[in-house]
Every structure is written in structure tokens, then in C-alpha cells.
Chain A
Amino acid sequence: MSRLLALTKRELSAYFFAPVPWVLTFFFLLLTWFFFQWEVSSLYVTVTYAPVFAALQFILLFLMPLLTMNSVAEERSRNTLETLLTAPVRDWQVIVSKWLGTFAFYVAMLVPTLVYWAVLAYIGRAIGKPDAGPILAAYVGALFLGGLYIAVGIFASSLTENALMSAFLAFFLLISMLFIGVMPFMHDAAPEWLQQFAQYLSQQTHFAQFMKGRIALFDIIYFVSMTAFFLFLAVRSLESRKWR
């Protein structure tokens, strides 16, 4: 346990010491602020900030691959992977700690967006209070969504020692997952079960539920199992040194 904690702490501190995560955080807040103020300045009355979350899944599509691209790839290219894995740690601890560290950084990135809630409460005095339920549900969804994206990013990073390659691969995986849910509808000939399955695989289907304010076990199971699946693949990819 103390090992996992030490690994996670190092992972998180690596984010704070590198310039890229700060740049990404800046753009993240800039973009979410843009969508928020666009929503507020349009004339309809609002008690949530749904457009921010709707945009979030696309912002994260670009952001998470860039945030996670170095996680394993850099350890490979700097050879520190050898130092790391010859300490008495297990492969899964290394991967899980990378996920935890990145997730913690992501949470830190999300925290400033709570300001929007305060802004909404302030300007909403005339039109009614912000609706806490849907906002909180959307945040929970954002956590699950980010967690999945991070797992995909770490998996991509574990396959290569080239960070840009890793980012590209993660982006490709994420966008494929996103669009697989939409694809079958273009072909009505596809069997019903296939359409449903493809829809199930898409993160969009499940994140939409959270945005509607519904926190359902069905969707939580999707995110948890998919995240675990990609982390499992990353562990296997780390282990691949053993059978090469």
C-alpha cells in the first residue's frame, strides 16, 4: 500500500513539474469558460451548465491523450522503466499508480470549473437557483469519463516509447469508441443487437445519461469495466517485455 502511494505521489508530482500539463490545464479552462459564457450570454434561461459538459467529452478527446502520452512512453525512452521495474513493485502497481496520479491531476483541473456554479448562482438570483442535482450528476459523469480516457491514454502510452505516437493512438482509440455508437444507424440493415451493442460500447451513450442528471448503475458498470479493461491491457503490454 505504501508502495502504491509512493508511486502515485511521484506520478502526480511529475505532472506538476512538467510544463505540458499546465498548458493543457490552461486550454482546458479557457475552452470550458468559453462554452459557459456562450451559454450564459445566450438568452435562454438556464439553471445548469450542460453545454460545458457536452463540450467536455470532445475537449477531453484531445486533452487526455496529450496529458497521458508521457506516462509510460517517457519511462521507456528514458530507460527509467528498468529502474522502476527492478524495484520490488508489481507491474499492476505501476499502471494503477499512473492512473491514480493522472486522475488526481484531472480532478485538480476540474475543481476550478466549480466557479461556474458560483457564477450561475450569482446571476441566477433573478431566474432561480442552479439545479444542484443535474450539475452534480454531470460532474460524476465527467469523473467517470475522464477516468476511462486516462486508462485508454495510459494503454496507448504503454505500447510505444514515442509520446506523440502514443497521443495519436489514444486519440484514434477514443474517437473510434465515440463514433462506433453512431455508425450502425447509418446502416439500418445492421441487426438490432449489433446496433445496441455498438451503442453500448460508445462512451457517449453513457455520458449522456449523466448529463441528463441520471446516475444509473448500468452506466457506472460500463465506465468501471471499460477503465479496468484498458488498465488490464496496459499491464499486459508492460509485461510483454517478458515474452519478447
Chain B
Amino acid sequence: MPAIEVHDLTKRYGARTAVDTISFTVDEGEIVGFLGPNGAGKTTTLRVLTSFQPASSGSARVAGYDVFSQGVQVRENTGYLPESTPLYTEMRVFKYLWYRATLKGVARRERRAFIESAMERCDIVDVRDRIIGHLSKGYRQRVGLADALVHRPRVLILDEPTAGLDPNQVRDVRDLIKEIAGETTILFSTHTIPWVEQVCERVIVINRGRIALDGTLSGMRERVAPWARVEFRTSMDARPALDVVHAAPSVIFAENLTVGERTMLRYLTEKSNLARSRELVAAGLASSGGTMEDVKVVDAVVEDLFTKLTRGSEQAVEVRA
């Protein structure tokens, strides 16, 4: 039985469709990165899965329970870390976890042991008697995580667990997730690829409320393997220069990287077409009176695919699938 099953889920807020008929499943024990730019519908989906908000249509089951009709059972079996980790800042760490464990139905005789092991896991034993509001952001994040897993849920849902953390703290959260991997099913959302690459294999990319990709990182790597990434500077303005690049037939995807004065563009192309695309782009730019300088060619990486899948028309235009 899959741990999370989402079927044709749609969530509308008034006229706006935040999530549009998405379907996916997560198997027991799997770790999945839920990836997408801000506003793509990640938080909305996770809120439906924790039965905080119902879907407009479609269905979802978590740990075998229907999120709409069996909300309490779903929440009993789910540990959820909401975005930005809201906590009762006036409470002390241990007291807070005691309160949360009680709410989540951990039996009294097991409660202390469950809390101790959650605190050990999240490395917050040394701050157990501190007031949450006096803790650093990294510690608070770990208190939130300890809360999410204190009742030993079957499914862990983490919304942007590393947002706003410094690199060391990000590493701590990553190690923690790796440690509990295997025992628990984990679905976490993020908007950065490199982090996902360090934690798990499977990713679901969501963009504008729709699933843009559901697959493995190795699958994504395979997909970008035949691609090359070309970066160059030009004397032209970004907008017309992008139009020229798009007009070249072998360009998969182009975007504007300009920072400061000089226009800088990047485009993806098939390696087999690399030389031809460079010629065509250079010729196109030249005919508009522009130059093509500082050309750098490197292998495309997974992040390029992610950018291609999730960038809207405001900065870049997808040319060919």
C-alpha cells in the first residue's frame, strides 16, 4: 500500500487554481523531494495532505486514510512541519514537546521516552529547558522537526525544512533526514535542486499547479546528458538578443542572466547541434549589429532541466520540449 496517494487533486481559491488535477504516489519508506518555484502550489498540496484544507476536487490518501473523511487518523499518522516553523515561543522546549506528544495521542507511559529520542535525533537535548523564543533559528527548526516526529508517524511531511537556515544548519537538517530515511516515508518541499540531490533520488517537480516532472534524479541526469549549456555576453539589450537566440532552430531553452551593465545570456542546446547553434546565434546577433563574446560551453546539469521546466515566460521562453 502506498504511503501517499494523490489522485486528480485540484484546489481552487476563488477564481485562482492553485493546484490543478495532480496525481502521484509515494511508496512506504520512500523519500521524495517536492520541487517547484515559490507559488507553484507546493504548500497548498501539503496542506491538503495534512487535512488542514480540503481539496476542491479529487482525492488523496495518506497512510491509508482519506484526507477528507478521516482527517484525524491522517493527522495521527503524519508528522508535519509547516513552512517557517511556527512554535509557541513562550514555552520551554521539553514542555512544548510534552504538550505536542499529548495532543498527538502518545500514551503517557511512553511519552517521556518518545520525547527523549526525538530530542536526541534532532540534537536539541542541550536546550531542553530553554525558552523556545530565546533559541536561534536553527535550533527552532530542530524543535519543529522533533515535534513533527515525536509521535513516530508513518509519514513525515516537511514544508521548506531548510528555508532561512545557514549552510551548517542546512547540513544538519539534511543529515537528520538521511538518518530517519527508511523508517519513515518523507515528502519534503523545496525550491532548490542541489539540496534535493544530497538527500534523495526521487523528485516531483510542480509548476503553476501542475506536475511538470515525476521521476528520479538519475533520469533527469540522463535527460540532460546530451545537452550543452552555452553562456555568452553580447553588446545588445537582453530582450532583442533573447529573441535572436530563440529564433535559432536548435536552441532548447534560453534565459537572461544579466547582472549589471553587460547583457549575459544562457541557452541550452543538443551537444550534436552545438557548433551549428553557435554559428546561427552569432550570425543572428551580428545581423542585428550585436556581438557574441566570452562564450563558455559546459555540460548541462539537472538544475538546467529544472529551470527549463519551471521558468515562466517573463524571463525565458521554452522553445522546444
Question: A-side interface residues toward B, CB under 8 Å?
Answer: 2-3, 6-7, 9-10, 14, 17-18, 78-80, 82-83, 85-90, 241-242, 244
Q: Does the CB pair B102–A2 fall under 8 Å? A: yes
State the Cβ distance, A12 to closest chain B Cβ, in Å: 12
Contact B90 A6 (CB under 8 A): no
Bound-state CA distance A5–B25 (Å) is 37
In the complex formed, the residue of A with least CB distance to B159 is A82
Q: Inside 8 A of B13's CB, which chain A residues have their CB?
A: 244
With A9-B99, A83-B82, A88-B103 already in contact, 11 other A-B pairs whose C-beta atoms are closer than 8 Å: A2-B105, A10-B88, A14-B88, A18-B90, A79-B82, A83-B86, A86-B75, A86-B78, A88-B75, A89-B75, A241-B53
Are B87 and A83 within 8 A (Cβ)? yes
Contacting residue for B87 out of A6, A18, A80, CB 8 A: A80
Report if A80-B88 is in contact (Cβ < 8 Å); known contacts: A86-B50, A88-B75, A242-B53.
Answer: yes
Question: Could you write out 7 A-B pairs with CB less than 8 Å apart?
Answer: A2-B108, A3-B102, A7-B103, A83-B80, A88-B76, A88-B103, A241-B53
A14 and B73 CA atoms in complex are apart in Å by: 28
A79 touches B84 (CB 8 A): yes
- Give every chain B residue within 8 A of A9 (Cβ-Cβ): 99
A82:B82 contact, CB within 8 angstroms: yes
Closest approach, in angstroms, between the C-beta of B86 and any C-beta of chain A?
4
B51 contacts across to A, CB distance below 8 A: 86
Choice from A6, A10, A14, A79 contacting B86 with Cβ under 8 Å: A79
What chain A residues lie within 8 Å of B99 (beta carbons)? 6, 9-10
Do A87 and B100 have beta carbons less than 8 Å apart?
yes
Specify the chain A residue showing the minimal Cβ separation from B46: A86
When the two chains form their complex, are residues A241 and B86 in contact, meaning their CB atoms are under 8 A apart? no
A25 CB → nearest B CB, Å: 18
In angstroms, Cα B65 to Cα A242, docked, is: 18
- Chain B residues closer than 8 Å to A78, beta-carbon distance: 86, 89
Q: Tell me the bound Cα distance from A18 to B133 in angstroms.
A: 13
Q: Check B103–A87 contact: CB distance below 8 A.
A: yes
Decide yes or no whether B52 CB sits under 8 A from chain A.
Answer: yes
- B54 interface residue per 8 A CB criterion: yes
Mask, B133-161, CB within 8 Å of A = 1, is 00000000000000100000000000000
Looking at the complex, which one of B72, B88, B104 makes contact with A90 (CB distance below 8 Å)? B72
Select B54's contact among A3, A17, A80, A242, beta carbons within 8 Å.
A242
Which residues does chain A contribute within 8 Å of B53, judged by CB atoms?
Answer: 241-242
Q: Say whether A82 contacts B100, CB under 8 Å.
A: no
A89 to B91, CA, bound (A): 20
Q: In the bound complex, do residue B103 and residue A86 qualify as a contact, i.e. CB atoms below 8 Å apart?
A: no
Task: Tell me if A85 and B86 are in contact (CB < 8 A).
Answer: no
Q: What are the 8 tightest A-B residue pairs by CB atom distance, in nearest-first order?
A: A79-B86, A6-B102, A88-B75, A88-B76, A87-B103, A86-B50, A80-B86, A82-B82
Q: How far is the CA of A9 from the CA of B78 in the complex (A)?
A: 24
Nearest CB in chain A to that of B86: its residue: A79
Interface centre among A3, A80, A82, A89 (most CB of B within 10 A): A82
Q: Are B72 and A82 in contact (CB-based, < 8 A)?
A: no
For B90-113 the 0/1 string (1 means CB < 8 A from A) is: 110000000110111100100000
- Separation in Å of the B74 CB from the closest CB of chain A? 8
B157's nearest neighbour on chain A, judged by CB, is A86
Residues from chain A with a CB closer than 8 A to the CB of B80 are 83, 86
Which residues from B are CB-within-8-Å of A18? Answer: 90
Query: Which A residues are in CB contact (< 8 Å) with B84?
Result: 79
Chain A residues contacting B90 (CB-CB under 8 Å) are 14, 17-18
Max chain B CB contacts within 10 Å: which of A18, A78, A86, A244? A86
**Would you call B75 and A87 a contact (CB within 8 A)?**
yes
A-side contacts of B102, CB under 8 Å:
2-3, 6
Q: Bound complex: CA of A154 vs CA of B102, how far in Å?
A: 24
- Which residues of chain A have C-beta atoms less than 8 A from B103's C-beta? 3, 6-7, 87-89
Q: A241 — which chain B residues lie within 8 A by C-beta?
A: 52-53
Q: How far is the CA of A3 from the CA of B101 in the complex (A)?
A: 10
Q: Which residues on A sit within 8 Å (CB–CB) of B78?
A: 86
Interface of chain B residues 19 through 69 with chain A (CB within 8 A): 47, 50-54
Please report the C-alpha to C-alpha distance between residue A86 and residue B103 in the assembled complex, in whole angstroms. 10
- Of all chain A residues, the one with the shortest Cβ separation from B82 is A82
Q: A6-B99, A241-B53, A242-B53 are in contact. Are A86 and B105 (CB under 8 A)?
A: no
Nearest-neighbour CB distance to chain B for A98, whole angstroms, equals 14
Output the nearest chain B residue to A77 by Cβ-Cβ distance. Answer: B86
Tell me, in angstroms, the Cα distance from A188 to B51 when the chains sit together: 54
Complex: how many Å from CA A241 to CA B82?
16
CB distance from A205 to the nearest CB of B (A): 40
- The residue on B at minimum CB distance from A78 is B86
Nearest CB in chain A to that of B49: its residue: A86
Query: Which of A10, A241, A244 has most B Cβ within 10 Å?
Result: A10
The CA-CA distance from A78 to B89 in the complex, in Å, is: 10
Output the least CB separation between B148 and chain A (Å).
Answer: 9
- Chain B, range 229-287, C-beta contacts under 8 Å to A: none
